[in-house]
Structure 1
């Protein structure tokens, strides 16, 4: 179904999901992740605790909702990059091209970072997610190189790309006046100069 053809039920579900997500992030920012309960999130969103569990199986799942969307989008853009670009250049382009889409959810990303920093459990989960995302990127690098599976170079390049993007995101959150795509390009451009 096209986005313009959304049913009233689907639109209502999106509104409730977004209200729960925003309430959770606000509470996590104010009180810390570990101190926030699902009942508090539901109450803040104006729904029952039972409704909360219709949308999210756990408190943690609210925080990590949509976590793989960006990396999946990067994968598609990466595979569409011109062949004359190196894998490193193609990765820089891919992350930078998708970065402007994150501007509208900047506050949400900042709250996510705050929530993760407030909990050792979430820091561990974030580390696992980072590794899973790097694995996804390594697979598309292998696909672009026409390899049956990622080799050590693919894994190294993916890890470097994720690190450079993470550094750019942290700078963007700390200095809101700067464009994330510019920061990503700057981080990727700085690495070859450092290695000389």
Structure 2
């Protein structure tokens, strides 16, 4: 009898296959660019059939954006758990910084993702829509913390500013190995009030 947290061999195999496809896709996107990489090439590189590729991912684009909402959803939960004495801005800075160390293990994947997006105008457009959707998710969490039914302009502005600071932090983190993303996020958030004085 399996313990609750145990995973079946079938689940473990599915995870290995999904990760192999993801790694193969990101490596090929880095070398060839997103637009010049085919799903057949990804499948071949991962050692599976093209049919298997589509069992795990409905489109080539879906490989790239796999798991994209997990981090922002986690941020929302952590944000709503922040102490009430923190301002909304401080709570947001703290939430992003607390979750940042979890991204360290996928640093290479994040860098490859950014390269792939930069190689395709289609993906740049998709990335822009994702940023807007992520900012909307954060704005809803801010509204909930403020006991508002829906985000007002102030919630949306604060969320957009927060997402911009996180984006700036990611760029710095990828460019400076050895620095912690959480430290960079805290510095970026701390710098804004100083600049606005």
Do both proteins adopt the same fold according to a TM-score greater than 0.5, normalized to the shorter chain?
yes
What does residue 29 of structure 1 align with?
A: 30
**CA deviation map 1:148-173 (0-9, x unaligned):** 00000000000000000000000000
Structure 2 CA distance for aligned equivalents of residues 167 and 144 of structure 1: 25
What does residue 82 of structure 1 align with?
A: 83
Structure 1 CA distance for aligned equivalents of residues 85 and 22 of structure 2: 41
Structure 1 CA distance for aligned equivalents of residues 167 and 130 of structure 2: 13
Structure 2 CA distance for aligned equivalents of residues 104 and 3 of structure 1: 25
What does residue 146 of structure 2 align with?
A: 145
Structure 1 CA distance for aligned equivalents of residues 42 and 170 of structure 2: 27
What is the Cα deviation at residue 4 of structure 1?
3.1
Pair 2,187 (structure 1): closer, same or farther in 2 beyond 3 Å: farther
Q: Structure 1: which 5+ residue stretches go unaligned? A: none
What is the Cα deviation at residue 3 of structure 1?
7.4
| 2:37 counterpart SS class | coil
Q: Structure 2: which 5+ residue stretches go unaligned? A: none
User: Do residues 174 (structure 1) and 175 (structure 2) align?
Assistant: yes
Please tell me the root mean square deviation across aligned C-alpha atoms, in Å. 1.1
Structure 2 CA distance for aligned equivalents of residues 89 and 176 of structure 1: 26
Note the 1:151-166 alignment, pairs <5 A. 151-166=152-167
User: Do residues 13 (structure 1) and 34 (structure 2) align?
Assistant: no
Note the 1:102-117 alignment, pairs <5 A. 102-117=103-118
| 2:66 counterpart SS class | coil
**CA deviation map 1:32-67 (0-9, x unaligned):** 000000000000000000000000000000000000
**TM-score for both structures, normalised by structure 2:** 0.98
Structure 2 CA distance for aligned equivalents of residues 12 and 74 of structure 1: 29
Alignment: residue pair count: 196
Structure 1 CA distance for aligned equivalents of residues 36 and 4 of structure 2: 37
User: Do residues 131 (structure 1) and 132 (structure 2) align?
Assistant: yes
Structure 2 CA distance for aligned equivalents of residues 83 and 179 of structure 1: 27
**CA deviation map 1:75-130 (0-9, x unaligned):** 00000000000000000000000000000000000000000000000000000000
| 2:34 counterpart SS class | coil
| 1:35 counterpart SS class | coil
What is the Cα deviation at residue 177 of structure 1?
1.4
User: Do residues 101 (structure 1) and 97 (structure 2) align?
Assistant: no
Runs (4+) off by over 2 Å:
1-4
